[in-house]
A and B are shown apart, each in its own frame.
Chain A
Amino acid sequence: MIATLFAHPSDAACPSTAGYKVITLYPEESGYPSLEALKAAVSERTAGLFITNPDDTGIFNPIIDEFVKVVHNAGGLCAYDQANANGLLGIARAAEAGFDLCHFNLHKTFSTPHGSGGPGAGASGVTEELARFLPVPTVEFDRQRYYLDYDRPDSIGKIAPFYGVVPNILKAYAWVMGLGADGLREAAQVAVLNNNYLLKQMLEIPGISAPYAEGKRRIEQVRYSTEQLTQETGVSSLDFALRAADFGAHGFLSHHPFVVPEPLTLEPTESYSQADLDEYAAVWARIAQEARTHPEGVKTAPHNAPIHQITDHDSFEDPACWAMTWRAFRRKAQDDHGQ
């Protein structure tokens, strides 16, 4: 299986878990891999391509259709992870690029809540040739009643308990029908506009850059780097994200794989107003200034949170420190007291 470096990590992790060998393509300065690199990776052993587009840099691979052709010619299938579809609704489809299958995250693009490992729901799209392999059950209608169809001999089977997260499906359905086709396109357009508006403001902050495809516009998100600022001040992008909490802004602490040095990834979506974005950029400008004048203050942030910095990261990784139930907590607390 072939994935790209800045695709969602699950695009490499899923095939790897299923026993495939995964080849990861590295981006050129353009932000996406060269066609030559792809051609060098494919062979008669290629099962397929599994990628996001745009990747997590927000850069759209404009020769995606040629990528698909190369993999098809080698006999592989192409899967489009639409995790980053929020800038593309009503604008570009997996179909035009020739993909064989794709999936949307209803809990991202289609506005159902998620977080803290919270409920996801997926919508899979496949070509007619692949439809018989879809998981069971499917919902069918015989013109009188709706029913669940388990009688699909070529199906890959059941992949999750029951019928998925039904409340999320309802919420996403309501959201889509509320906006309509034009509304969805407008949401995507505003998401892209918001992102590029924020990009311009962020790049005006000395020491912050947006690696790859310099000077070009992005789709719906940007992976920034505070590398220069960090070199000058010793304040890392993680310190930045933690300090942001003092201004009521939630920073993302994980940027797997850590390839962009000192990463900060921002995705404004369509939900933020111009004033929201101005305020948000002002927060980062303020922290950048603090990094130069009071670096210790940033490095010890957050100061206004109920818990400041968690330095004992080992406890997270040590099952002996976990207590999933009250009974387990009491047992472990007793053990700690040597009783």
Chain B
Amino acid sequence: MSQQDITAQRYESGKPKLRRYHQARWDEPIIFELSQPGQRGVLVPEVEPEIKEQVGDAFSALPDKMRRKQPPALPEVSQVHVLRHYLRLSQENLGAGLVSDLGMATSTMKYNPPINEQLARSPKVTELHPLQDEETVQGILEAIYRFEPVLKPSIPTSPSSARITPHGERQSRETR
């Protein structure tokens, strides 16, 4: 079999052929409009009579005037419909990882390795709460503490101090 350059068909007289791209278009309602009374993502089992008897009415301590008259107006949607809904919305998006975003100017839109996402989405991280006692969040404090000297060589004159500080960046349409 002769050696064939399988990438050749992507070029035309040495120039890359342009990719045809067409975004999906779904006539997708907002999720509240998808709501069907009685649909559920999870069916919570009925409490067994023995438990009910032991616990009694847990809400009896709440005065009537403090109780909601109506349940919150959450959309009633099954799991698969939630999944479909957001997948469809994502298909209508020019998202990172899908399209070329080097034209996003000074925003430094570089590749975000999913393996790092996996790390940050571990329950060991996501189940922490910022109000926990610091004795119980030693691991995350250690990570922050150890990251600081790594950054330090890039930062001003020696002796110096590098700190990761609470920093919220709000991006608007005007500045990035």
Contacts and interface: CB of A to CB of B under 8 A. Distances in A.
Interface in B121-176: 121, 125-126, 128, 130, 134-135, 138, 140-148, 150-176
B116 interface: yes
Contact of B168 (A120, A223, A264): A120
A307 to B, nearest CB: 8
Interface in A134-178: 134-135, 138-141, 145-148, 158-178
B110 A164 contact: no
13 contacts: A83-B108, A100-B156, A114-B171, A115-B104, A118-B171, A146-B142, A161-B168, A162-B166, A167-B120, A174-B115, A249-B102, A250-B103, A306-B92
Contacts of B21: 245-248, 304
Interface in A265-314: 265-272, 275-276, 278-280, 282-283, 286, 304-307
A9 B171 CA distance: 11
B113 A164 contact: no
A255 B110 CA distance: 19
Nearest to B167: A122
Given A131-B160, A175-B116, A329-B32, 19 more contacts: A90-B154, A103-B167, A104-B151, A108-B107, A112-B112, A114-B107, A123-B165, A164-B164, A164-B165, A166-B128, A166-B144, A173-B147, A176-B151, A254-B173, A256-B175, A267-B108, A269-B110, A271-B111, A304-B22
Given A102-B155, A267-B109, A269-B110, A172 B18 contact: no
Interface of B: 15-16, 18-19, 21-26, 30, 32, 73, 92, 94, 96, 98-113, 115-117, 119-121, 125-126, 128, 130, 134-135, 138, 140-148, 150-176
Contacts of B92: 306-307
Nearest to A140: B145
A94 B173 CA distance: 29
B164 A123 contact: yes
A100 B156 CA distance: 7
Interface string A69-104: 000000000000001111001100111001111111
Contact of B119 (A146, A170, A268, A283): A170
A252 interface: yes
The 8 closest A-B pairs by CB, nearest first: A125-B155, A120-B169, A122-B167, A160-B166, A265-B105, A146-B141, A108-B108, A248-B21
A269 B111 CA distance: 9
A170 B110 CA distance: 17
A93 B135 CA distance: 36
Contact of B144 (A163, A220, A252): A163
A100 B22 CA distance: 49
B88 to A, nearest CB: 10
A94 B26 CA distance: 49
Contacts of A93: 153-156
A312 to B, nearest CB: 15
B154 A125 contact: yes
Contacts, number: 315
B156 A101 contact: yes
A141 B134 CA distance: 12
A13 interface: yes
A233 B120 CA distance: 49
Contacts of A252: 103-105, 107, 176
Given A125-B155, A304-B22, A251 B103 contact: yes
B19 A248 contact: yes
A281 B114 CA distance: 27
A279 B110 CA distance: 17
Contacts of A305: 23, 94
A8 interface: yes
A250 B100 CA distance: 6
Given A95-B155, A115-B171, A147-B134, A141 B145 contact: yes
A51 to B, nearest CB: 14
A43 interface: no
B166 A159 contact: yes
Q: Name which of B16, B128, B175 has the most chain A CB atoms within 10 A of its CB.
A: B16
A319 to B, nearest CB: 16
